[in-house]
């Protein structure tokens, strides 16, 4: 019953609204009852004073020589008529009681009733008239609960009690009407609230349903499902984030498929070559004098397989978080020169013009081996995609960033076809290869730039790419500058431009 979010949401809000209205009814009815009792008590107090003043007037007429019980006895008819009038005005019964608890007269009857109250009841009233039997049956003197008020007339002969009693504790008619009105209004408000909560809940839950359905489709390998985004609230933000995730998953699935195709090709081609040449050597198809030539080809293909396996193993370690950086100060300029020299053969074969701009050696604090691979990958890519007689410009500078922190800036720019604008956001994705035709990149796996970017992110830095089709491609990354070791000497003091 309560499995869905919508049901829980509706049930919770319904209970909250019902309890709120119930508490409202109880509070209002209590306030109305208390107000009615207060108003009734004020009228009863006035009635008691009027009755006491009437008795006082008859007492003064005798020169105050008679006690109140005697005054009542001598003027019972007149006092009875006065009490009836006061009873009518206050809608309460008025009793005149002596100190022994005998009923001297009341608005109900002018006859005397002995033992109307016992001595303990009289004592309680005299001691605490404001508290004694305020709302009570007065120990079963009355058959129902009554609101009672006591006014004491004290004299030497004893205390005479004027008691005003009313069976109407508050105003039940007014209270009943008030409660009915509140319930009626509450029902309409409750209906309006339910309708509002229904539509609000539906607006919140429907995108969640769509997300759930889309997630189930993703589990089946269908990444084309999208969630409809409407509005600008948190749910819309969630739906938009989900769609972005779906786009990323779709691209990842596409790159994964491409990667599998590329890796299959990269594995199958050298293995086929190796197998064919080895079989040729074994069965004698390849003559003795040409075996060295074909063994060199086999060695090259083995190294190609080794590079592929090494890249895959490194990718696995990076994604598993097993790569730990060994930070140290080293000469970035010298590192770039050494890597550039290692590509001398390829550079000469393509007759590439190299420009190395570095005014002075720059020392950085980073993982030497990791940065070596970053620069090696970038240089290898630049040479690979630079046409014959093209140019490569490597620039190393130092810039000051926020808080006066100095950063080493490494830039490598090569001429060539460039990267299409729509592919630049994808260039650092895993397994992504811009040269899908494999016309220029015959050995790459699409992991070099991803590994380079991940390595720099682990250093707290980043790498950026800019390109213009038909003209150039440029990669730029930064590293924190370190103090130059005292024992380190530059191999190229001027270092401004090397070709």
pLDDT, tens only, 201-236: 777 777 777 777 888 887 777 777 777 777 677 777
What is the rounded CA–CA span in Å between residue 475 and residue 449? 10
pLDDT in tens, 256-265: 776 677 667 6
Give SS3 for 437: coil
Q: Is 336 left (phi over 0), alpha (psi -120 to 50) or beta?
A: alpha
Confidence check: pLDDT of 255 > 80: no
Confidence check: pLDDT of 147 > 80: yes
Output the pLDDT for position 444.
52
Output the pLDDT for position 173.
65
- Range 367-378 average pLDDT: 90
Burial class (CB in 10 A: 0-12, 13-18, 19+), 164: buried
- Range 52-71 average pLDDT: 87
pTM for the whole thing? Answer: 0.46
Contact residues for 157 (Cβ-Cβ < 8 A; gap 6+)? 67, 68, 69, 99
Which one is predicted more confidently, 479 or 260?
Answer: 479
- As a residue count, the chain comes to 499
Residue 364 half-sphere exposure toward CB, CA atoms < 13 A: 28
Q: Which CATH number fits domain 226-323: 1.20.1090.10, 3.40.50.720, 3.10.450.350, 1.10.287.130?
A: 1.10.287.130
- Range 252-280 average pLDDT: 75
Output the pLDDT for position 138.
87
Output the pLDDT for position 170.
59
Output the pLDDT for position 265.
65
Which one is predicted more confidently, 314 or 250?
Answer: 250
pLDDT in tens, 72-124: 888 988 999 999 999 888 888 999 999 888 999 998 888 888 888 888 888 88
Confidence check: pLDDT of 376 > 80: yes
- Mean of pLDDT over the chain: 81
CB 482 within 8 A of CB 329: yes
Domain boundaries, the chain: 5-173, 226-323, 324-480
Which one is predicted more confidently, 413 or 304?
Answer: 413
Tell me which CATH code domain 324-480 carries.
Answer: 3.30.565.10
* β-strand pairing of 391-400 with 353-357: parallel
What is the rounded CA–CA span in Å between residue 237 and residue 257? 30
- Range 272-287 average pLDDT: 84
CB 96 within 8 A of CB 151: no
Output the pLDDT for position 96.
93
Helix axes 172-219, 234-283, angle to 10 degrees: 10
C-beta atoms surrounding 12 within 10 Å: 13
Confidence check: pLDDT of 426 > 90: no
376's tokens: 């090696």
Confidence of residue 498 (pLDDT cuts 50, 70, 90): very low
């Amino acid at each position: 019953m309560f499995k869905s979010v919508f049901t829980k949401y509706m049930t919770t809000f319904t209970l909250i609204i019902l309890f709120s209205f119930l508490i409202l009814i109880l509070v209002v009815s209590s306030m109305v009852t208390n107000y009615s009792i207060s108003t009734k008590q004020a009228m009863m107090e006035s009635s008691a004073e009027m009755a006491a003043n009437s008795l006082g007037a008859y007492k003064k007429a005798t020169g105050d020589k008679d006690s109140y019980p005697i005054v009542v006895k001598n003027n019972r008819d007149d006092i009875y008529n006065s009490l009836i009038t006061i009873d009518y005005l206050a809608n309460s019964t008025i009793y005149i009681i002596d100190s022994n608890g005998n009923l001297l007269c009341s608005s109900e009857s002018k006859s005397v009733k002995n033992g109307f109250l016992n001595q303990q009841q009289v004592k309680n009233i005299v001691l605490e008239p404001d508290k004694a039997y305020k709302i009570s049956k007065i120990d079963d003197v009355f058959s129902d609960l009554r609101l009672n008020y006591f006014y004491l007339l004290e004299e030497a002969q004893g205390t005479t009690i004027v008691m005003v009693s009313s069976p109407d504790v508050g105003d039940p008619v007014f209270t009943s009407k008030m409660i009915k009105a509140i319930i009626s209004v509450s029902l309409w408000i409750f209906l309006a609230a339910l309708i509002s909560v229904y539509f609000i809940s539906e607006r919140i839950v429907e995108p969640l349903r769509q997300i759930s359905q889309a997630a189930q489709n993703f589990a089946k390998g269908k990444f084309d499902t999208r969630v409809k985004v409407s509005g600008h609230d948190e749910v819309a933000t969630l739906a938009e984030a989900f769609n972005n995730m779906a786009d990323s998953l779709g691209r990842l699935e596409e790159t994964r498929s491409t990667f599998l195709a590329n890796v299959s090709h990269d594995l199958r081609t050298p293995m086929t070559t190796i197998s064919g040449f080895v079989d040729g050597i074994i069965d004698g198809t390849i003559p003795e004098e040409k075996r060295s030539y074909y063994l060199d080809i086999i060695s090259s293909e083995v190294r190609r397989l080794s590079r592929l396996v090494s890249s895959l193993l490194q990718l696995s370690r990076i994604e598993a978080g097993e790569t730990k950086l060994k930070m140290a100060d080293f000469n970035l300029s010298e590192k770039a020169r050494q890597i550039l020299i290692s590509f001398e053969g390829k550079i000469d074969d393509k007759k590439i013009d190299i420009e190395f701009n570095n005014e002075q050696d720059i020392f950085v604090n980073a993982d030497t081996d990791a940065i070596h691979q970053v620069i090696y990958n970038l240089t290898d890519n630049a040479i690979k995609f630079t046409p014959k007689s093209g140019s490569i410009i490597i620039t190393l500078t130092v810039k000051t960033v926020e808080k006066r922190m100095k950063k080493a800036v490494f830039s490598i720019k090569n001429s060539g076809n460039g990267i299409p604008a729509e592919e630049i956001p994808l260039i650092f994705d895993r397994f992504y290869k811009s040269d899908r035709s494999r016309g220029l990149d015959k050995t790459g796996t699409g992991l070099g730039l991803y590994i380079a970017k991940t390595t720099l992110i682990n250093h707290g830095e980043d790498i950026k790419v800019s390109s213009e089709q038909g003209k150039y491609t440029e990669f730029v990354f930064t590293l924190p500058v370190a103090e130059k070791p005292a024992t380190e000497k530059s191999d190229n003091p001027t270092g401004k431009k090397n070709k």
